[in-house]
Amino acid sequence: MNIQPNLTSIQQSLVKRMAICLVILLLGLTIVNSGKLHLFTPLTFTLYVLPFMLFFSVMYTCYQMALKKGRLWFLWWLLLILFVGITYRCVKYYYYDLVPLFFKGFTSAWKPEHRTELLSRISSGLLFFVAIVAADYFAWAHFYTNALFKKVQVQLHSMSDVQLLSGHFMRRLYNIVRVQRKSVQSESLDFFQYVTDKIAKPTVLVPLKEEWHYLMLLVSYSMDRSFIVEGDELLDRGMWNRSIPTLSLMTWIENAIAYSPCDPVEPIVIRWVKVQQGMQLHIKNCIASADLQHGTGKGLQLVNRLYKQMNNQFIELEYAIEDQKYFVIKLTFKS
Q: DSSP letters along 271-328, please?
A: EEEEETTEEEEEEEEE--GGGTTT---HHHHHHHHHHHTTGGGTEEEEEEEETTTEEE
Predicted confidence (pLDDT) per residue in 227-263, tens digit:
999 999 999 999 999 999 888 898 888 888 877 776 6
In degrees, rounded to 5, the angle at the alpha carbon of residue 45 between the alpha carbons of residues 41 and 46 is: 115
- If pLDDT is split at 50, 70 and 90, which confidence band does 1 have? very low
pLDDT at 64 over 80: yes
CB 284 within 8 A of CB 268: yes
Task: Note whether 51 and 90 are within 8 A (CB).
Answer: yes
Task: Clarify whether residues 45 and 194 are in a common domain.
Answer: no
In total, how many domains does the chain have? 2
- Which CATH number fits the domain that encloses residue 285? 3.30.565.10
The angle formed by the CA atoms of residues 257, 261 and 262, to the nearest 5 degrees, is: 85
Residue 20 lies in a domain: yes
Judgement on whether residues 210 and 328 belong to the same structural domain of the protein: yes
Q: Is residue 328 part of a domain?
A: yes
Residue at a domain's end among 94, 110, 145: 145
Shared-domain flag, residues 134 and 246: no
The winner for highest mean pLDDT among 170-179, 211-220, 289-298 is 211-220
Q: Decide if 162 is inside a domain.
A: no
Please indicate, yes or no, if residue 160 is contained in any of the structural domains.
Answer: no
- Within this chain, do residues 194 and 55 fall inside the same structural domain, yes or no? no
**Shared domain check, 263 and 130:** no
**What pLDDT, in 10s, does the model give residues 274-308?**
999 899 999 999 886 555 444 455 556 767 777 77
Domain boundary among 98, 115, 145: 145
SS3 assignment, position 269: strand
User: What's the pTM?
Assistant: 0.58
51, 94 in Cβ contact below 8 A? yes
Q: What is the DSSP letter of 205?
A: E
- Three-state secondary structure call for residue 21: helix
**Measured distance CA(280)–CA(333) in Å, rounded:** 6
Please tell me the distance from the alpha carbon of residue 253 to that of residue 256, in angstroms, as a whole number. Answer: 5
Collapsed DSSP state (helix, strand, coil) of residue 190: helix
205 vs 211: CA distance, rounded Å: 10
Is residue 140, in this structure, part of any structural domain at all? Answer: yes
| pLDDT per position as a tens digit, 147-162 | 666 666 666 565 544 4
Asked if pLDDT for residue 52 goes beyond 60, the answer is yes
What average pLDDT does this structure show over 14-20?
85
pLDDT digit string, tens, across residues 78-137: 988 998 888 899 989 988 888 888 887 778 788 888 888 888 888 888 888 888 888 887
Q: What is the DSSP string of 133-182?
A: HHHHIIIIIIIIHHHHHHHHHHHHHT--SSSSS-HHHHHHHHHHHHTS-H
Exposure string for 241-257, b = 16+ CB within 10 A, e = fewer: ebebbbbbbbbbbbbbb
Residues 141 and 274 in one domain: no
User: What average pLDDT does range 69-85 have in this prediction?
Assistant: 83
Domain of 267 in residue numbering reads as 167-334
In a domain, 240, yes or no: yes
Domain co-membership, 223 together with 119: no
- Looking at the domain assignment, is residue 161 inside a domain? no
Residues 315, 171, single domain; the answer is yes
Task: With a cut of 70, say whether residue 22 has pLDDT above it.
Answer: yes
pLDDT at site 109? 82
Q: Please give the residue that has the higher pLDDT: either 180 or 36.
A: 36
Shared-domain flag, residues 178 and 98: no
Greater model confidence, 11 or 230: 230
For the chain, the helix, strand and coil percentages under 3-state DSSP, each to the nearest 5: 65, 15, 25
Residues 178 and 81 in one domain: no
Q: Both 112 and 188 in a single domain?
A: no
Sheet containing strand 268-275, strands side by side: 227-230, 268-275, 278-286, 326-334, 315-322
Same domain, 137 and 210: no
Contact between 251 and 288 (Cβ < 8 Å): no
Angle at 236 (CA atoms; ends 235, 240), nearest 5 degrees: 75
Confirm whether 126 is domain-assigned: yes
More confident: 304 or 211: 211
